[in-house]
Structure 1
């Protein structure tokens, strides 16, 4: 007697991510944890089996078919295929940090086995007196917000996923498709509910989505919202290609990663308070300054230039971050890399961020991802390729826990992750706060930026300049 294998349909958005791998960009989220003291492979496997595998998705394979894809239980699942250990290979004269960065880059270009669940952990033994853990998870499983929540579950004291009834699971799995249908029909009544008519932007949109019985507002608000939707659709469609720089071109698929040491988050908050800007404004300004200085030092004048970074916007309530799948939109953020004055630059970033507030572009970008999940792969590649021409980088900024965590009794002293880039985009920027610090990470394509550490090393000097100039401002006025 043959036993039926459990399976479920993959959402259209997750299907789009599954098929988005290409020759130069694999759709994996890559992260690294630095642990002190060292942990054993046995302890890590035990913790993963006890916590992570309670999320069924990590025991399921992604199986494509003519209509899309399904999640299918891996009857031959073996944790030994997914949690491995290795010794770090170091070239003569190479530091441990440089060797680990090199290994992260190699793994970022190594496909996961499509015949198994699409994730893998590599435990690096004897790294800086402890251990390093490199995690790779395919983007079709979940977005960054969800994965951080899930990864925290394996730390000491981490929570198990909430218990849900099967019917409830089915309702939640269809929510993203319902959202997509709403946004794909911008002039229908269902979208009037979806886009949130009171000027509250994405946050209110999602509130109305979670409460579809909420009454509609007046006809004037409906007209304004419809006009805003049409404006945002047009803005995405006619957006010019991004400014040409050394960081934009044809990647060759070899990845290089780098990260810096954490800076005190309190100092960032002080600058933000002094300038009337958000923490995001301050950090993104320093990123823009570091990239501009890097280009200038390589003989390219950045004056007057701006580059775009596609920034993910979370579209799920944070209390539901443990739910897997992709629930985020994208907005194009302009980085003023050509403004040399740090204070002027942070105000320019603040102005760019203000332009995005209240925009429906995240919802529309989510709809595009859902829509291309219905197309055959060549059409999907064409659509996403058009979007990749409009940006130089993808960028994400994620707040982590304020206090250091532990894993199997070992302290997680530092963490960093990188999101994948689609199409021919060759740079991923990550900003992560953790344990009272904030740090900056990069993943780049070797053909476009062979030494991302050169950009990383310019981040803190830009921050220091901004800090000193902020302290020198005439506060009495």
Structure 2
């Protein structure tokens, strides 16, 4: 890539989507276990990030056309900073710091990224990154993340730069399951990739695509809840401790659902509980979430920019029974496997990049007002990674919310564990930790009900009979379940 490059129409769309109360910045953290040598972390970040020309480039407007142009006054100290949190410097202070960064604009006259190395009194460190969505989407930023790590598991005394072939292999193993998460059929996936290959033609591909576009334009708004309203621009963030991925896999296999179904059902249950705790009516409530879907062809692993479409999924918040909620999520996700929504929305993003900003704003106001949340699910590396010799204990990120959407849910798996992150607008949800605290208990209920089997009028008896594995198989999995779940008393489902 040359040092000057015209910005793609899709990336232009994301750059222009910034609003004072919703910045299009992807914010993430890498939590490092001690020992950590801060100078080595900073040097590694500097050396490895600048392999990508994009991290030396600023946005330049030439007669209304946007270009990525080399910053002739580039100074790495503007982009990599060392920080010490206020006492006591724990998770609460880190959450507030991450939220502050999420609502602080990047300097538009400089490359649109910053990394903050947060020093811990206890010897570790947390790297907080914020990168504008115009540079790359979540899947492309995995390329960036894997360019930072040391390579195969190394000790402090045995560091070496990452292997390009290993990096590509890791990314391929991550990208391959993305389509399987939504269970798209192979035919539809190939069609979607074909349309995404020429996104300016997407909106002229016949009746199926026209119907998808009409559906997007005419779909009614979701339920009016406290998750929808006037935004303040004051952000709050929270995240869970990791949950063992084998436990999620065991239950999903037992119930005949995907891991993605399980995770989305847990999100729906957590939102249901939060509404009920605040005295809100939940019966019949549906919350529409926008879910990004990667549309990169296999083999494209080192290309930055944005290459994804979006599907809209209605979460059945009003279903109180956890298993009924899971199967309804499963049913709805299965219905999306023949959807053209992802390539249609990619084509729409491309078309809007060529249109005047006022047109883009009007279209997004129409579409985004029908949703309350953005939910992303990124399958990360399955093995532990190291940065400058320090083990990365936890990875988390927070998805930006376009328009007037005030709720962003991020799901990420890493090193055999899965975790949830939440970013909210304080005017709507001032205490996201109250929602985050419900994710694992909601999942534990599904584990619990797998052991007990169906009971009560609310249970979808026919579906359970069709999908659940034999009782002896469920019992054989009991040893793999968390001790706290095995000890739970038997009770009727609520």
What TM-score bracket applies, with the shorter chain setting the length?
0.7 to 0.9
Q: Deviation per CA, 1:246-269, whole angstroms, max 9, x where unpaired?
A: 010111101100001011100100
- In the alignment, the residues of structure 1 paired with residue 54 and residue 297 of structure 2 have an alpha-carbon distance, to the nearest angstrom, of 20
Alignment of 1:367-406 (within 5 A): 367-406=347-386
Which of 427, 437, 440 is residue 457 of structure 1 equivalent to?
Answer: 437
- In the alignment, the residues of structure 1 paired with residue 62 and residue 366 of structure 2 have an alpha-carbon distance, to the nearest angstrom, of 26
The 1:199–1:85 alpha-carbon spacing in structure 2 relative to 1, beyond 3 Å, is closer
Q: Deviation per CA, 1:436-460, whole angstroms, max 9, x where unpaired?
A: 1101110000000001000000111
Which of 55, 64, 68 is residue 67 of structure 1 equivalent to?
Answer: 64
Partner in structure 2 of residue 58 of structure 1: 55
- In the alignment, the residues of structure 1 paired with residue 121 and residue 29 of structure 2 have an alpha-carbon distance, to the nearest angstrom, of 12
Which of 25, 28, 32 is residue 31 of structure 1 equivalent to?
Answer: 28
- In the alignment, the residues of structure 2 paired with residue 286 and residue 375 of structure 1 have an alpha-carbon distance, to the nearest angstrom, of 39
The 1:279–1:322 alpha-carbon spacing in structure 2 relative to 1, beyond 3 Å, is same
- In the alignment, the residues of structure 2 paired with residue 326 and residue 71 of structure 1 have an alpha-carbon distance, to the nearest angstrom, of 14
CA RMSD of superposed structures (Å): 2.1
The 1:95–1:243 alpha-carbon spacing in structure 2 relative to 1, beyond 3 Å, is farther
- In the alignment, the residues of structure 2 paired with residue 306 and residue 154 of structure 1 have an alpha-carbon distance, to the nearest angstrom, of 40
The 1:324–1:257 alpha-carbon spacing in structure 2 relative to 1, beyond 3 Å, is same
The 1:25–1:127 alpha-carbon spacing in structure 2 relative to 1, beyond 3 Å, is farther
The 1:471–1:207 alpha-carbon spacing in structure 2 relative to 1, beyond 3 Å, is farther
Q: Deviation per CA, 1:131-169, whole angstroms, max 9, x where unpaired?
A: 01100000000000000221111111234599xxxxxxx
Partner in structure 2 of residue 294 of structure 1: 274
- In the alignment, the residues of structure 2 paired with residue 323 and residue 121 of structure 1 have an alpha-carbon distance, to the nearest angstrom, of 21
Alignment partner of 1:206 is 2:203: no
TM-score normalized with structure 1 length: 0.85
- In the alignment, the residues of structure 1 paired with residue 187 and residue 165 of structure 2 have an alpha-carbon distance, to the nearest angstrom, of 31
Structure 1 stretch 289-298 or stretch 355-364: which is displaced more? Answer: 355-364
Alignment of 1:242-253 (within 5 A): 242-253=222-233
- In the alignment, the residues of structure 1 paired with residue 279 and residue 327 of structure 2 have an alpha-carbon distance, to the nearest angstrom, of 26
SS at match of 2:120: strand
Alignment of 1:32-431 (within 5 A): 32-90=29-87, 96-126=90-120, 128-157=122-151, 158-159=162-163, 200-206=187-193, 226-431=206-411
Give 1:424 deviation, angstroms.
0.4
Partner in structure 1 of residue 446 of structure 2: 466
- In the alignment, the residues of structure 2 paired with residue 209 and residue 449 of structure 1 have an alpha-carbon distance, to the nearest angstrom, of 36
TM-score normalized with structure 2 length: 0.82
- In the alignment, the residues of structure 2 paired with residue 13 and residue 472 of structure 1 have an alpha-carbon distance, to the nearest angstrom, of 49
The 1:115–1:208 alpha-carbon spacing in structure 2 relative to 1, beyond 3 Å, is closer
Partner in structure 1 of residue 476 of structure 2: none
Partner in structure 1 of residue 490 of structure 2: none
Question: Could you tell me whether the CA contact under 8 Å between 2:290 and 2:310 is conserved in 1?
Answer: yes
Partner in structure 2 of residue 195 of structure 1: none
Give 1:290 deviation, angstroms.
0.3
- In the alignment, the residues of structure 2 paired with residue 320 and residue 6 of structure 1 have an alpha-carbon distance, to the nearest angstrom, of 21
Give 1:322 deviation, angstroms.
2.1
- In the alignment, the residues of structure 2 paired with residue 210 and residue 245 of structure 1 have an alpha-carbon distance, to the nearest angstrom, of 38
Question: Could you tell me whether the CA contact under 8 Å between 2:3 and 2:70 is conserved in 1?
Answer: yes
Give 1:347 deviation, angstroms.
0.4
SS at match of 2:27: strand
SS at match of 2:115: strand
Listed as ranges, the gaps of 5+ residues in structure 1 are 163-197, 212-224
Partner in structure 1 of residue 6 of structure 2: 9
Question: Could you tell me whether the CA contact under 8 Å between 1:12 and 1:68 is conserved in 2?
Answer: no
- In the alignment, the residues of structure 1 paired with residue 339 and residue 121 of structure 2 have an alpha-carbon distance, to the nearest angstrom, of 45
Give 1:234 deviation, angstroms.
1.4
Partner in structure 2 of residue 18 of structure 1: 15
Question: Could you tell me whether the CA contact under 8 Å between 1:41 and 1:84 is conserved in 2?
Answer: no
Listed as ranges, the gaps of 5+ residues in structure 2 are 152-161, 167-184, 199-204, 455-468, 472-494
Partner in structure 2 of residue 177 of structure 1: none
Q: Deviation per CA, 1:23-78, whole angstroms, max 9, x where unpaired?
A: 11000000011101153442123212322211111110011344331000011111
The alignment covers a number of residue pairs equal to 423
Question: Could you tell me whether the CA contact under 8 Å between 1:54 and 1:161 is conserved in 2?
Answer: no
